[in-house]
Each structure stands twice: as C-alpha cells, then as structure tokens.
Amino acid sequence: MNLQLYSLYWDNIDPAVPAAQKAACDALQVPINQHRIHGLAHGEWIDWVMTRMEGIDVFLFIDIDCVPLSRSRVLENAQKAEGGMLIGAEGAANHLDPSRSYAGAWYIYVCRRTWNKLGRPSAKATAHADICQGWTDLWRMCRLPVQLIAPTRCMSPKWDLPGRKLAYGIGTTYGEDCFHLFESRSADPQPFLDCCRRIADGGKAS
C-alpha cells in the first residue's frame, strides 16, 4: 500500500507552522507533502492532488495546522481506508447544517480505488456541504463504511456537533489521532508548535 500525506497552505501562514508540522511528521516516519499555493481553494486542491497522483493508494489530507499523534494510528487508519472506509476527524458545518456530521477535510483518509469506483467525486464545498462533506454523504448513500473520529479535548470550544454543544474549536485533540489548532491565520500558533516540538523531540505528543 502506498500511503501519502498532503497539506496545503497560503502565504498568510506563519512559516514556523509548516516547518513544525514537517518536523513532527518526519519524527513519526510519516513524511508529508506540503504544497504552498496561495489562493488555491482547499477542495479544488484536493481534487487536483487526487487526479494527478495516480500511483497513490491511500491519501491522508491534513490541514497545515493539524498534526498526527501516532504513527501506528496513521498506519491502522490507512489499512482500513484501503478497504473502502472513509475516515476523518468529526466536524459539522455549523454555518450550513449543524445536525449533520462528516469527516472533516482537516484530517481525512480516502482510498483512490474507492474514489474511482464512486466516480471521482469532488471535494469542493457546495451551497449545502462543506469541503469533503459530500464524500461522507456519498459513502453513506452507497452504504460504504464511514468512521468519524470524535474530539476528546478542546482548548477553546467554538462549534457544535450533533447533540454536543461546543464540542470542538481552537486547539482540538481527536483521541490518539491528531491535534488541530484551527484558524492558524489568526490563532496563537504556540500550542501547535509545542505539540509538534514534543513529537519531534520524542516521536510522541506527550
């Protein structure tokens, strides 16, 4: 299985953030491909990567201010994704429909073979769905497995999940899977930098 990690960032990101993400991923031995393409929409970029990177079996798309916490968990999730499961950090488009959860574009595993079988669905946002939310809807409609990774800790809650008020926000930890700062263009990057430094120093988040 060929697994590859990808992240996108614009010119408005503190350069320390992508540097820290790369150092942490290298320490976990899950190297990441970071694309600095200012102004390119996230969903359009995901479509672009998946269309062109033909030799990859499983993709893990991850925001520039998100970092995996465990190599073993990354590999475990990749194996499940290779079998057809869509896996991602749980989110809800509070500005569209907070009652409908989905695998968030900030941390999502997808298998190329399954994506091809489903007609290469776009990851772009629509009037009714956030980035990658259409994938979750399609997987469920086709009765394919979806695994949503629930948030377990949050430094500054901002958004609701179905039946859970203020479930995630700035500085959210998703179990043993990932830490996501969110809003890195305006939020204090230090919690993210600290998390990445701990991983880079010892290969683990804590």
CB 136 within 8 A of CB 142: no
DSSP state of 178: E
Task: Give tens-digit pLDDT for 152-203.
Answer: 999 999 999 999 999 999 999 999 999 999 998 888 999 999 999 999 998 5
- pLDDT category of residue 206 using cuts at 50, 70 and 90: very low
Does position 204 have pLDDT exceeding 80, yes or no? no
CB 199 within 8 A of CB 32: no
Task: Give tens-digit pLDDT for 111-154.
Answer: 999 999 999 999 999 988 899 999 999 999 999 999 999 999 99
pLDDT at 205: 53
The whole-number average pLDDT for the span 23-36 is 97
CB 126 within 8 A of CB 63: no
* Assigned token pair, 201: 């120093």
Distance from C-alpha of 123 to C-alpha of 43, rounded to nearest angstrom: 5
Global pTM value: 0.95
Distance from C-alpha of 132 to C-alpha of 122, rounded to nearest angstrom: 8
Task: Give tens-digit pLDDT for 68-97.
Answer: 999 999 999 999 999 999 999 999 998 888
Using the CB atoms, write b or e for 38-48: b if 16+ within 10 Å: eeeebbbbbbb
